[in-house]
Structure 1
Amino acid sequence: MSAQCQILVIDDDERLRSLISSYLTQEGFNVSVTGDSEEAFLIIYEKDPHLIILDINLPGANGLTICRKLRHTGIVTPIIMLTARGDDSDRIYGLEIGADDYLTKPFNPRELVARIRAVLRRQSIAGFSLFETESIVYKFGRFVLDLKKQSLAKNGEDIHISGAEFALLRLLISEVGKPISRDQLVARMTSKEHHPDQRGIDMLVFRLRKRLDDRETLGGMIRTLRGVGYIFVADVSTEKGA
């Protein structure tokens, strides 16, 4: 599970960041670190990590504020929150606003790894239930979207894509050539685990365009309809998968 799995550690304690990064790297994870909340958002939008380890007591925008902002913008990346306090109110509030787990400092690094793997397993199971399990493959340009495998490939090579990005691309392709409003996308993307808003949809489209090397031009695959929403215009063929 850890192979090619990207973890972002957000903590202003440089020594702890280094220790966590070293331990997770030894366990086979790819790790990015920052102690700055503004830089954290840049890394999240650029690298789209599989999981975020988030200190609650950051200077400036604290961990609770960051967690709440991520969830309000439709980003459902799993979050494990860290705190030096054992205050139940912080723990409960963190879980209420969308954190997936909670760990109080000091902690055993082995426990952190166990919690990371548990959260990723839960996300994998929940994410799979969001999509159809039929064996259908969509082909468009140099890309292949496999519903059964929940994978996106370009020229035969897999491309990392988050569950939310996969769901949005699948919706756009299923309505190829038809305009879809942001409200419709919000409604169809909403589930027990996922509560996007229009800004969240726009950010997912931005990230999808990067995955697809797509530009917002007349020749692009995902085109913006001002005041309406989006339309997917690539030539799409459909076939049964393995």
Structure 2
Amino acid sequence: MKQEPKILLVEDEITLGLIIKDSLETRGFKVIHVTDGNLAYAAYTNEKPNLIVLDVMLPAVNGFTVAEKIRLENKHTPILFLTARTMPHDVLNGYMAGGNDYLKKPFDMEELIVRIKVLLNQNRLLENEQSDKNSGVVDIGKYTYDMMRGFLVYQSVTKQLTGRESEVLKILFQNRNRLLARKEFLLQVWGDDDFFSSRSLDVFITKLRRHFKHDPAIQIINHRGFGYKLIC
């Protein structure tokens, strides 16, 4: 049975915290919600979450201090700051404290969920690479794909993918047989979801389809208005 990703949510606004908790739980996440900095560190120690959503302005101890304390012993668990503090130096302080992302209030719940998924996926890829350097070589239908070096092999022919082609294919493979939202895809590869990034994604999808032309069982399906799915 697949284990639910565990999210530590640190938000002192009770109503907002309950809304976020409910939204995440309906998407399959397990959520531990606490309301101040001291409780946050205790919950992190006891629960060992997969990701932390951390408000900055908290009772007792602020979010930056909590993040710095966590980073002394854990460099990898993603931390997403969620706060009304929007000045450039606040954002910079968040990253310097060890944050991986910074979402400003008010925010769209769907954007929060997409950002959480992106951070979890990036961290999962990092853990996989660190635990087994050889795990990056996978079979996709009749092809063999070396994620680390960007090689796509069919029979005795090896094709060197460009860096961006390899990034796109890696994300498709990690989410194979699952419909991946276009916005989530764009944030993972380009870091934004503007028009030019969206058009670039379409171009790389077309190139990858050509690379897989020798195996008709491999399909990259475009669900218009939503995203892509790799079937293999």
* TM-score category of the 2 structures, normalised to the smaller one: 0.5 to 0.7
**Deviations 1:149-207, CA, capped at 9 Å, x for gaps:** xxxxxxxxxxxxxxxxxxxxxxxxxxxxxxxxxxxxxxxxxxxxxxxxxxxxxxxxxxx
Aligned length: 135
Structure 1: unaligned runs, 5 residues or longer? 136-242
Q: Is the helix fraction higher in 1 or 2?
A: 2
2:145 corresponds to which residue? none
What's the CA shift for 1:3? 5.0
Amino acid at match of 1:9: L
* Cα separation, 1, equivalents of 2:53 and 2:12: 12
- How far residue 80 of structure 1 moved from its aligned partner, in angstroms, is 0.3
Matches within 5 A, 1:122-141: 122-133=122-133
Q: CA shift at 1:20, angstroms?
A: 0.3
Distance 1:34 1:68 in 2: 18
**RCO higher in 1 or 2 (8 Å CA, sep ≥ 6)?**
1
Q: Deviations over 1:16-42 (max 9, x none)?
A: 110000100111101110102222122
State the shift of 1:85 in Å. Answer: 2.1
Q: Within 2, Cα distance between the matches of 1:26 and 1:104?
A: 23
Which residue does the alignment assign to 1:177? none
Q: Which residue of 2 aligns with 1:90?
A: 90
SS in 2 for 1:61: coil
CA positional deviation for 1:123: 0.8
Counterpart of 1:86 in 2: which secondary structure? Answer: coil
Contact kept, 8 Å, 2:56 with 2:64, in 1: the verdict is: yes
Q: Deviation per CA, 1:40-75: give whole Å up to 9, x if none.
A: 122111110100000011122100011111101235
- What is the TM-score of this pair, normalised by structure 1? 0.53
Q: Partner letter of residue 91 of structure 1?
A: V
Moved over 3 A (4+): none
Equivalent residue, structure 1, for 2:104 = 104
Greater gyration radius: 2
Q: What's the CA shift for 1:133?
A: 3.7
| TM-score of the two chains, using structure 2 as the length reference | 0.55
Partner of 1:59: 59
Give the partner amino acid of 1:114. Answer: V
Percent identity at matched positions?
34
**Could you tell me how far apart the structure 2 residues matched to 1:52 and 1:96 are?**
16
8 Å CA contact 2:55, 2:82 repeated in 1: yes
Contact 2:77 2:123 in 1 (8 A): no
Please provide the CA RMSD for this pair: 1.9
- CA distance in 2: counterparts of 1:121 and 1:74, whole angstroms: 18
